[in-house]
Chain A
Amino acid sequence: MKQLDTALGLGAVRGPLGRILKFGLYVLVVFVFAGPLLALLVSAFGRVTDPTKLSLIPHDLTLDNFRTAFDQGVLRYLANSLIVVGGGLLLQITVSVTAAYALARKNFPGVRLILFLILSTMMLPEEILAIPLSLVLADVPVVHVNLVGTLAGMIVPVGAWAFAILVMTEFMRDVPIELEEAARLDGAGDLRIFWSVILPVCRPALGVLGIFGFTMIWDQYILPLLVAQDAHQFTLALALRSLRADEQVGTGVLIASALLALLPSVVVFLALQRQFMRGLTSGAIKG
């Protein structure tokens, strides 16, 4: 009963007309949603002098756009972006797995309150905190460090992400307690247990954290905007705006730089797609 596989039963549509219609619809949606990104890829390697030359069909192939972009310091912005995403992701994962270990496996007074406080920040859009956050970054309480104008200012705040803690805590709760008890009988301490019993079991969840964290940090705009003081600290995302405003560089360079900002996220997404979909549906369905 093939036509009962899906809600509309489109898989059962046969016959030349039905097939052509279906194929046409697939082409249309791919054109609308992926076409613009494909045009970015194609045009980055073409001679694009002004915005009207965006095209899906390769012509006048050249690497000039990238050459000029590199002259404009785009490699440095790319390096900054990679440093921020690498450092931010490492910090975010470390913070989330250690917190999740305590929240999921330790029964201590206040555990529910802490979890509630952390999860309540999911309701708190980062945009709303932008202004006070910029004040905090300029003079971090207690330690009195100024993070404005440093890449660290873009890295440290992304360590606090409630979604990652939620995903990890829920996953660790399902790890059978017997595994831990057996290790404890063998005389293993907390650190040993965490490192060689809990973490290996949590590998699927670590994949979810990795792909979501990468996408979240790569998409960051407000935080770098608040932190960067001059072009030395620009990430690629920030640089795209100033490249656009620069009359001298032209659309080709902007498009080539946008492609450099696009590729890492697409590559990471395609590589970890399965984990991404799992996180998307589990996170969303659980709210």
Chain B
Amino acid sequence: MTRRHASAWLWLAPALILFTLFKFVPMARAISMSFKEVRPYLGDRWVGLDNYRTVLGDDAFRSAAGHTVVLALGETIGSILAGLALALLLEGTARHLWIVRTAVFLPTVTAMAVVAALWRVIYYPAPDGALNAVLGGIGLGPGQYLDSPHTALWSVMAVGIWRGAPYDMMIFIAGLAGVDRTLYEAAAADGAGPLRRLWHVAFPAMRPVFGIVVTLAAIRGLRVFTEIFLLTNGGPNGSTEVVMTLVYKLGLERNELGVASAGSMLLLLATVVLTVLAQLMRRRA
């Protein structure tokens, strides 16, 4: 039997090597660095929880954590509401619905780098910039979008919702497709209109789907980096700085690897807690 076990490990070897090198080793390093002052050539010095104290006491980190939470919450709620509205509008098997769904879904498969380049052009803050021209057509005044500390975070959030809502839409449509149609008939027989049917039949049946969508969206929101890095890089005036952009600057630009790792670990902790909580809630539901 040992020969068969040996062959199993052989089949697993490529995956084990890659996961060890590029997932587990970096993870172990991140944990270890978060307790150390990293000094190239001099050797690292154990500093216990100092890095964590530095991070938690740092105003910049706290404000970045605040922005991260606002962004994650806003994008989660926004994507779910917009995704749900899209799902209800575009649910069905008709061919024209399928075409509209495909068109609406395109932002989700577009690379973030393209999305960011495109939206920076759309958000161009001149009065005749693309978005200002469209909004001007319906009587809304020109905005500064990414260029003003008051609107930058909301503008980033809107892009996140634009890209996230179609994804949520598809999951909701799959959920709606799984609702037992005889329940709709029963509700209709009881004289319930479409809105009551939605509230009392479709939504309760979709509770697990809501749980999944919320979890996925919240985790997606916490780790946000690329869209901030490309849209605003934390500016203007730090108004869109999030945890990961701050960690990136600390680690790769200022070489404070220990403090940066502590920041990453705190974010990871938040992600894990959120995931586990969501799993528990799903099990109870």
Contact = CB atoms under 8 A, between A and B. Distances in A.
Interface of A: 1, 3-11, 25-26, 29-30, 32-34, 36-37, 39-40, 51-52, 54-55, 94-96, 98-99, 101-103, 106, 108-109, 111, 114, 117-118, 121, 123-125, 127-136, 140-141, 156-157, 159-160, 165, 190, 215, 218-219, 221-222, 226, 236-238, 240-241, 244, 251, 254-255, 258, 261-262, 265-266, 269-270, 273, 276-277, 280-281, 284-285, 287
Contact of B100 (A9, A29, A140, A287): A29
B112 A219 contact: yes
A12 to B, nearest CB: 9
Interface in B1-21: 4-5, 7-9, 11-12, 14-16, 18-19, 21
Contacts of A95: 14-15, 18
A5 B12 contact: no
Contact of A37 (B29, B118, B188, B230): B118
Contacts of A3: 188, 194
A141 B4 CA distance: 29
| Chain A contact surface mostly | helix
Contacts of A11: 92, 94
Given A29-B86, A52-B130, A218-B111, A280 B121 contact: no
B93 to A, nearest CB: 8
Contact of B22 (A101, A157, A240): A157
B88 A8 contact: yes
B185 A4 contact: yes
B234 interface: no
Contact of B272 (A30, A36, A101, A123): A123
Given A7-B197, A131-B251, A261-B114, A124 B14 contact: no
Given A36-B122, A130-B251, A156-B18, 7 more contacts: A7-B176, A7-B184, A10-B91, A37-B106, A99-B12, A108-B8, A280-B170
A54 B118 CA distance: 10
Interface in B137-191: 162, 165-167, 170-171, 174, 176, 179, 181, 184-185, 188
B88 A136 contact: no
A121 B165 CA distance: 25
Interface string B95-118: 010001011111101111110111
B119 A36 contact: yes
Interface of B: 4-5, 7-9, 11-12, 14-16, 18-19, 21-27, 29-30, 33, 86, 88-94, 96, 100, 102-107, 109-114, 116-122, 124, 126, 128-130, 133, 162, 165-167, 170-171, 174, 176, 179, 181, 184-185, 188, 194, 197-198, 201-202, 208-209, 212-213, 215-216, 219, 222-223, 225-226, 229-230, 244, 247-248, 251-252, 257, 260-261, 264-265, 267-268, 271-272, 275, 279, 282
B19 A160 contact: yes
A60 to B, nearest CB: 17
